[in-house]
Amino acid sequence: MVGTNSLYGPLDPAPDGGYPAAPPRMGFFTDTSVCIGCKACEVACKEWNQVPGTGLDLLGMSFDNTGALTANSWRHVAFVEQPRPIGRQSPPFAGTPTGPSVSSVTAAIAAATEVDTRTKPGVPPGPEPGSAVRMAAGPEFVGMPGSQPPGRTGSADGRTDFRWLMMSDVCKHCTHAACLDVCPTGSLFRTEFGTVVIQEDICNGCGYCIPACPYGVIDQREGDGRAWKCTLCYDRISVGKTPACAQACPTESIQYGSLDELRQRAQRRVDRLHADGVSETRLYGHDPNDGVGGDGAFFLLLDEPEVYGLPPDPVVTTRDLPRMWRHAGLAALTMAAAVAAAFIGRSA
């Protein structure tokens, strides 16, 4: 990474934050293509960091019982239900000219394997020939909801195809962190690993950091007033341990490590998925040239960022502060000069 003292140019945040001999920048790569929505990360985060429970409110959003990142949810597993076919399972299984229908394939299997035991001496009458094959072939043949195979645009019962998109969201630990710029007490600080941490014993609850965050991550705890968010388990990584959420993830959807190495790994994963025909795959938050200088926690997505509730083009919200202060200074000088001129004119 490139180090510089420029306020909003490329930088390695730890040296810029006062750690000249900083270790490699650490972070998260979250591969949403293998997230199963188990919420193990949410539970591990709460248990390790002693984050209060969020209750059992389902929010009317399917299985999403947390809804967003809050002071009491430092990890949020988003459940997005899309009414559209799963691309890789479409035309060949939908009875199109490019492939036979499921019904015709199953009928052929049934005809080839059918055994009518009812005509054999000493054998009790069995089920209708081929029924076991039809049952094993799936719900299409027993009238169950969702019987249409993936790829069809509808079914006799009015159902449409859909897919689940799941993503474990977290604080992005931005390279250019606006929350650091606006904190008046120094409660927010940059660690030697390039992450951003709130010291709750210093936070005065002013709330300036909340609107400063371009991702809407930071929140104040009800009845407490102080700001809270993910610390990337600073107490664990400072002694060489993996953050609790990544440690608990059963599919390795959340991967922790050196940010440079994670970016390389993520690009290989994208290339592989593209080669497999998943053309909608993309990375989010990995680019050091984006509006926040790249994120310390970035994601592999299977759709547009907005689908997951992420801003498409995040920018550091304090980027215009230097220019605003310059303009304010010029305005103050102009006003002072006008007032001085008015007094001089009167005295003359």
What's residue 321's pLDDT? 57
Domain boundaries, the chain: 22-83+167-308, 96-161, 321-348
pLDDT at residue number 160: 57
End-to-end CA distance of the chain: 62
Q: How far apart are alpha carbons 83 and 164 in whole angstroms?
A: 9
Q: Say if strands 196-198 and 219-220 run parallel, antiparallel, or are unpaired.
A: unpaired
At 166, the amino acid letter reads M
The span from the CA of 64 to the CA of 112, in Å, is 46
CATH class of 22-83+167-308: alpha beta
The answer for residues whose C-beta is within 8 angstroms of residue 304's C-beta and 6 or more apart is 312
Beta-strand pair 26-31/297-301 = parallel
pLDDT at 339: 75
CA quadruple 79, 85, 90, 93: dihedral positive or negative?
Answer: positive
Note the pTM of the prediction, 2 decimals: 0.70
The tokens 């009317």 sit on which residue? 60
Per-residue pLDDT of the chain (348 residues; tens, 9 = 90+): 333 334 444 567 888 888 988 999 999 999 999 999 999 999 999 999 999 987 666 666 567 888 899 999 999 999 998 876 544 444 333 333 343 343 443 444 344 444 443 444 444 444 444 443 333 333 333 333 333 444 444 445 555 577 889 999 999 999 999 999 999 999 999 999 999 999 999 999 999 999 999 999 999 998 899 999 999 999 999 999 999 999 999 999 999 999 999 999 999 999 999 999 999 999 999 999 898 999 999 999 999 999 999 999 999 988 655 555 454 666 677 787 777 777 776 766
